[in-house]
Amino acid sequence: MNLLHKVKWLCRILVLSSALGSHAQAALTYNAYRYLDAELQIEEALQQGQLDNLSPYLAKDFVLHSPGGKNFDKNLWVKNQTSRKQESRLIRDVSVELVDDIAIVSFERVDPKTFKTQFVVDVWRDASHKLQHRYESPIRPGPKSIRPDGKG
């Protein structure tokens, strides 16, 4: 592992620990760590506009699913990424569930400038380490909590 690679990993760990805040002491499982790395690689490629770097991670039949029945195949999704400005986003609350050769990865993706949050569920082929499906939806704030005294 060369020095640049080590520095890159250290930066990722620092970003992750700052995103976790008080939960920074929590340890990731091996699979959560492995898929967090893949998700960070995808985010980094999007942020830098290096869409060719997405190829190693996306399956040929990749599909993005979003609310309202909007589905995008791989080519259309990649094309849409060029038309929108990519800002760095934080990934938090990563969870991985392995079922045979399928890894179901869920996480929240937060825009640190606007605090808009998306809930993302990715379906990966574990053996090939290719992203097959992505489901993403904005997280809308829930209703304001009501105090026990009933005054809002």
The full DSSP string for 43-69 is HHHHHTT-GGGGTTTEEEEEEEEEGGG
Which of the four pLDDT bands, split at 50, 70 and 90, describes residue 141? confident
Instruction: Look at the block and give the residue holding tokens 């990715």.
Output: 122
Q: What is the pLDDT of residues 30-68, one digit of tens each?
A: 889 999 999 999 888 888 888 888 889 999 999 999 888
Domain definitions of the chain by residue range: 49-142
Q: What is the pLDDT of residues 94-127, one digit of tens each?
A: 999 999 999 999 999 998 888 889 999 999 999 9
Q: What is the pLDDT of residues 7-26, one digit of tens each?
A: 454 445 444 444 444 444 45
**CATH code at 49-142:** 3.10.450.50
Q: What is the pLDDT of residues 73-91, one digit of tens each?
A: 998 988 887 755 566 788 9
The C-alpha atoms of residue 132 and residue 121 are separated, in whole angstroms, by: 11
What is the average pLDDT value for the chain, to the nearest integer? 79
Residue 73's pLDDT is 92
